[in-house]
Amino acid sequence: MAEDCALAWQAARHRAKATGTKWDLRIQLLSGKNLQAKDTVAEGTYGTGFTHSSDPYVVFKVGGRSVRSKTVEKDLNPEWNEELTLSVEDRMLKLQIEVYDEDKDDEDDIMGQAAVGMLDLVEGKPKMTTVRLRGEDGGGEGEHGELSMVITIMPSKSSMDDKMLR
């Protein structure tokens, strides 16, 4: 049975490549919740008080392509309400999600990561998704916060134009 499923997926992947089918993955990044604090800032008259925050942004990757959200400064529960689009050639791949803390004078810190499968997405039907972030080593799922987004997959315009020309 498992072998039949694997053969069916391979056949579907081959058909998609042979027909040149491409998709646009639209990601409406809504918000983050309980993200990890990566920055500590001294406050108060003599610097005796400390606040913990981050300046988060999100990178979405699939098949060698990536897009980046804007940065929300000093917020562990950011609201992005931003729409991003990625071109996808292989729906068998997973959408990789990485959240970073932007640092002006240093290398950006990774705050968490997740992955979302694209096979269960229905073309043209938005899917509300909340992902629990895990650590860079793959552990601690949910301890690094979560992201909420709406994901929609659509045939790309260029793919549809190519089919009309055939």
54-74 residue pLDDT tens: 999 999 999 999 999 999 999
User: Which residues make Cβ contacts (< 8 Å) with residue 78, sequence separation at least 6?
Assistant: 31, 32, 35, 56, 72
In a domain, 55, yes or no: yes
In a domain, 2, yes or no: no
Structural domain of 122: 21-165
pLDDT value at residue 51: 74
Q: Report the sign of the C-alpha dihedral through residues 9, 115, 123, 57, in that order.
A: negative
How much of the chain, in percent, has pLDDT values that exceed 70? 72
In a domain, 138, yes or no: yes
pLDDT value at residue 9: 47
Domain containing 96 — which CATH number? 2.60.40.150
What residue type is 49 in one-letter code? G
Question: The tokens 């998609």 sit on which residue?
Answer: 16
Cα separation values, 8 from 15, 149, 150, 163, Å: 11, 30, 28, 23
Model confidence pTM above 0.85:
no
In a domain, 13, yes or no: no
pLDDT value at residue 1: 57
Q: Assess contact for 94 and 118: CB atoms under 8 A.
A: yes
In a domain, 9, yes or no: no
Q: Report the sign of the C-alpha dihedral through residues 155, 156, 157, 159, in that order.
A: negative
Q: Which residues of the chain have pLDDT under 70?
A: 1-20, 41-50, 138-142, 158-166
In a domain, 1, yes or no: no
What is the CB neighbour count within 10 angstroms for residue 152?
19
pLDDT value at residue 21: 74
In a domain, 51, yes or no: yes
Rounded Cα–Cα distance for residues 98 and 113 (Å): 4
User: What's the domain count of the chain?
Assistant: 1
In a domain, 11, yes or no: no
Whose CA is closest to 151, among 27, 61, 31, 29? 27
